[in-house]
A and B are shown apart, each in its own frame.
Chain A
Amino acid sequence: MQKKRISLLMLFLVMTLVMAACAAPMAAPGAADTSSDGAAAVASDPVTLDINLGTEPPSLDPSLGTDTTSISVINETFLGLTELDPDTQKAGPELAKDWSISDDGLTYTFNLRTDVPWVQVKDGEVVETGMMVTAGDVAYGLKRTCNAETASDYAYVLYIVAGCEAANTGEGSVDDVAVNAVDDATLEITLNYPASFFEQIASMWIMRPMPQSVIEEYGDAWTEPENIVTNGPFALSEWIHGDSLQMIRNPFWYGWEEMGDVVGNIEVINGVMIEEVSTAFALYENNEIDTSGVPLEMMDLALAGEYGDEFVIAPSNCTYYYGFITQKPEVSDPRVRRALSMAVDRQTLADDILKGGQIPANTFTNPLNFGSPAGDPDIAPWAMTEAQGGTGYAAAVEMAKALMEEAGYPGGAGLSLTLAHNVSESHATIAQAIQAMWQEAFPDIEVVIETQEWGVYLDSLDHDAPLEGKPDVYRLGWCQDYPHANNWIHEVFNPTQGANVPMLSMDDPIVGDLVKQFNDDTIAAQTASEDEQLALYKDAEKLFVDDIAAIIPIYYYTTVAVTKPWVTRLYSDDKYYYRWSVDEAAKEAAR
């Protein structure tokens, strides 16, 4: 009987084969033995960094990457025109040695390096393809992202380049996108309006040089390790979908020689794809990976010092916030919105509920961006603790009570709110905590929490969605595309040019004039000098989160990680793996 059952099971497997057009067995390429400079091959094991990517990268195509995992790999394999400094977030040279800006601020001329080869991995070794990276490759990459046929999610960031929006919407030709390779080493890009943040956009993955011949030859499969050609510090040597990915050092990258102490010593990066943080943490404890996130259940231990110097909390460029649909009658009065914002005890939320060292937020724009006035006590001081220079929570609650009474809801009586968030355990915990804080500050307020599945939720917040279906208060977050206030306060909330989910209107009977001023501020900042920008963004943030009180900024994100003592690393959002080092002897000894 057992035998028969097994044969029937085998039948199932045969169906598997028929169904799934089976992949022919291939020998997996062995761990690559690379040498650092191609001259003296080292016989010992290569210096290896073992990491958890967390998930299968949805796409390694620079035009199509949208998530942090994909981008972390793209950043190591493709060079940008510029590179952001991990500390200051300012744009510095990478592929472009230097650049100049025309007097009208519209045309950027980049002078490119001529010593960057396209490479690929053959039999576990990085080899040159014979092609060099040229201005034409960057122009091709930029146009490809704008091209509607590429269907890039992030093409909208490049709408600043003249002709890109038309090409993307099909109203114009890709040939008319204003990027021009004057010669192999000179690239000209013309913008729609002058914008100091374009240098930062020029560092983004969506406008990296891309290998036209390879993309045209292999189509969608061009990012597979057997096809892809790259030019960054590392090259893709293996990609087992859903399981693991390997990058090896590209010895032909100029930086290993030129950048001296800045670069690290890593020769191989092995990335596994474990979604569950607890499992990744178990791998970390078994010394199978060198760094990991920390599961919530381990946070108390970690905060108590169990992991010593291995445990680090680092700021991350995202902001968590609640927004108001300002056209809903319950929250149409800015005094109500301010009172609700004041009554959120951000520090307690961070310390007792989130436990990841999150930073209480008094602005929307995260402090890691140019132009962020975060921490400035002129803006929503009631959101900050006394240590941060604010009023502290006790004083904030008193102000909130007074404001609420002034608005006609003494003790919250008569005010009934719906607070909506998408389904997630952590969002639910935060919502319940804030509900409790509001009820403590305003005993007669009624707050109903609604949860919806993510797609349904976003649909209900859409501009065209009926107003009665919208909540009074909604939850969202924002992470940078490029580290500049324009990507935040303007692109997300400008009432005429941004996404504007709060539905701010210049015709608002109470705050219409303030909305108009806010609108003018963030538009003016786009073309202003650096000093003027700082003043304009400060004014805009004050209007937006304090006077208009369109959102409740709650906290700035942090990333929490443990890292083995044999790894020297950076803790910024972008990984810069090429700057990391591993003490291979110490690592081997620990295993």
Chain B
Amino acid sequence: MISYVIRRLLWSLPVLFLIVLVTFLLAKALPGGPFDRVGDKSLPESIRVAIEKKYNLDKPLVTQFGLYIRDLVINGDLGPSYSYRNRTVNDLISETLPISAQIGILSVLLGAIIGLPAGIFGALRRNTWVDYLSSFIAVLGLSVPNLVLAPLLIYLFSVKLGWFPAARWGVNYKELYFGFIPPMTADFWSHAALPVITLGTGISATFARLSRASLLQTIREDYIRTARSKGLTQTTTIVRHALRNSMIPVVTILGPLLAGILTGTFIVEFVFGIPGMGDFFITSVNNRDYPIILGSTLVFAIFLVLGNIMVDIMYAWMDPRIRFD
């Protein structure tokens, strides 16, 4: 198993390199540059030339890419930001990623806590009111966009009822332990409530639908019939034999889902004014802030690769037929 993981990690290096290369080329292929304009104004040619020189943008593409890779490999340096002129991409990511990851982890946990039982009971009580209710809620959760849900929750639970703060995140990057663990204060939880519910409902809906469909399929398998025919109770059959196997599709989406959600979700961060990574990801493209585009794509790619390795490991644990050695 360990050699498998090491092999996979080594293999991911060329993949990551390719991702960086392609992103670099795509970003450069976009018309317009980072220093063409200020706000609504275009900048005089001489100014653009002076600024581009400072950031080596006057050099050939090959040289630019070479310099980027050199700094990245030797120093782990993701370069300066073009739109936040006194900051580096390393600073920006180390400040925003932990916040995004906190929202992401809490939302996935909430999604699992609500979604999995809903899906499982829906499947076990198929075509009863339990099933209809859980399906209805799942469809609702999937179809109400966060852009609608978030302001609604703010209006209801903050402005009208005053239960939770309307916006912002309960801790900032300076207060985190080891740079990423938040202190579990009441302030933290009260600020987390609305954004996590917003994001968690969609995730729980996904989980509910997947686990329901998968469990329905699993309980029709031969080995379940065998288990039942040898006299096992319903509970034992489901818990020991069906559930574990039926979770494979859920785990499959967990990898990409985590990568996407830990690196920031633009809408929720935007509406709640949370200083996470999602905002940078989106605005950097508009700003042609190449180092942020590359840096955030790289972080996303690393999460995706790791997520997929984690999924493969969990496959082996869940399905005894899968072995990597």
Cα A241 to Cα B105 with chains together (Å): 22
Check if B41 is an interface residue, CB within 8 A of chain A: yes
Query: In the complex the two chains form, is A28's CB within 8 Å of B175's CB?
Result: yes
Query: In the complex the two chains form, is A25's CB within 8 Å of B272's CB?
Result: no
Check if B207 is an interface residue, CB within 8 A of chain A: no
For chain A, the count of residues having a C-beta within 8 Å of the partner chain is: 76
B residues near A402, Cβ cutoff 8 Å: none
B residues near A315, Cβ cutoff 8 Å: none
CB distance from A238 to the nearest CB of B (A): 9
Cα A156 to Cα B42 with chains together (Å): 12
A residues near B279, Cβ cutoff 8 Å: 242, 275
CB-nearest residue of chain A relative to B151? A278
Query: In the complex the two chains form, is A156's CB within 8 Å of B46's CB?
Result: yes
Check if A590 is an interface residue, CB within 8 A of chain B: no
Cβ-defined partner of A478 (8 Å) among B40, B53, B180, B181: B40
CB-nearest residue of chain B relative to A168? B50
CB distance from B304 to the nearest CB of A (A): 11
Interface segment, A116-124, A147-155, A229-237?
A147-155
Query: In the complex the two chains form, is B101's CB within 8 Å of A153's CB?
Result: no
Query: In the complex the two chains form, is A25's CB within 8 Å of B275's CB?
Result: no
Query: In the complex the two chains form, is B273's CB within 8 Å of A20's CB?
Result: no
Cβ-defined partner of B95 (8 Å) among A11, A23, A151, A223: A23
Query: In the complex the two chains form, is B97's CB within 8 Å of A220's CB?
Result: no
Check if A169 is an interface residue, CB within 8 A of chain B: yes
Check if A19 is an interface residue, CB within 8 A of chain B: yes
Check if A240 is an interface residue, CB within 8 A of chain B: yes
For chain B, the count of residues having a C-beta within 8 Å of the partner chain is: 80
Cβ-defined partner of B51 (8 Å) among A15, A24, A153, A499: A153
* Residues 160-198 of B contacting A (Cβ, < 8 Å): 162, 165-169, 172-181
Check if B94 is an interface residue, CB within 8 A of chain A: yes
Q: Given known contacts A12-B303, A25-B179, A64-B86, is B97 in contact with A20 (CB within 8 Å)? A: yes
0/1 per residue, B84-126, Cβ < 8 Å to A?
1111101111111110010001000000000000000000000
Cβ-defined partner of A454 (8 Å) among B158, B174, B286: B286
Query: In the complex the two chains form, is B97's CB within 8 Å of A275's CB?
Result: no
Cβ-defined partner of A275 (8 Å) among B42, B177, B273: B273
0/1 per residue, A466-481, Cβ < 8 Å to B?
0000000000111100
Query: In the complex the two chains form, is A168's CB within 8 Å of B46's CB?
Result: yes
* Residues 1-49 of A contacting B (Cβ, < 8 Å): 4, 8-9, 11-13, 15-17, 19-28
Query: In the complex the two chains form, is A19's CB within 8 Å of B166's CB?
Result: no
Query: In the complex the two chains form, is B50's CB within 8 Å of A17's CB?
Result: no
Interface segment, B18-26, B30-38, B215-223, B224-232?
B30-38
0/1 per residue, A239-261, Cβ < 8 Å to B?
01111100000000000000000
Cα A4 to Cα B317 with chains together (Å): 11
Check if A459 is an interface residue, CB within 8 A of chain B: yes
CB-nearest residue of chain B relative to A460? B31
Residues of A participating in the B interface, judged by any CB pair closer than 8 Å: 4, 8-9, 11-13, 15-17, 19-28, 56, 58-61, 64, 66-67, 148-149, 151-156, 165, 168-170, 220-223, 240-244, 272-276, 278-280, 282-283, 285-286, 288, 453-456, 458-462, 476-479, 499, 501
